[in-house]
Amino acid sequence: MGLQPTRKPNVRQQWCILFISIYKMKSTIPFLLLATLLASCTFHFYTKKELLKKHQQPEENQTFIDSNNFVRITNIGKTGQRVDDIFEFDNTGKQLKSTLITTCTTCFNKYLTNMLSYKQYGWLQLNDTVFISKYALKTYLYTHPSQFTYQMSRHNLPRKAYKKLVAHATKPVIPAVNN
Cα–Cα distance measured from residue 19 to residue 17, given in angstroms and rounded to the nearest whole number: 6
Confidence (pTM): 0.69
Per-residue confidence band for 151, with pLDDT thresholds at 50, 70 and 90? very high
Q: What's the rounded mean pLDDT across residues 139-159?
A: 93
| Whether the Cβ atoms of residue 88 and residue 70 lie closer than 8 Å to each other | yes
pLDDT in tens, 47-92: 888 888 877 777 778 888 888 899 999 988 888 889 999 999 999 9
**Nearest-CA neighbor of 75 among 60, 89, 65?**
60
Query: Which pLDDT score, from 0 to 100, does residue 46 have?
Result: 78
Per-residue confidence band for 163, with pLDDT thresholds at 50, 70 and 90? very high
pLDDT in tens, 152-162: 998 999 999 99
pLDDT in tens, 1-42: 455 554 455 556 665 566 566 656 655 554 444 444 443 333
Cα–Cα distance measured from residue 143 to residue 172, given in angstroms and rounded to the nearest whole number: 12
Alpha helices in the chain (DSSP H): 11-23, 28-37, 48-54, 105-116, 159-166
Which 8-state DSSP code applies to residue 7?
S
Cα–Cα distance measured from residue 14 to residue 19, given in angstroms and rounded to the nearest whole number: 9
pLDDT in tens, 91-121: 998 889 999 999 999 889 999 999 998 888 8
Beta-carbon contacts of residue 106 (< 8 Å; ≥ 6 apart): 177, 178
Cα–Cα distance measured from residue 109 to residue 162, given in angstroms and rounded to the nearest whole number: 27
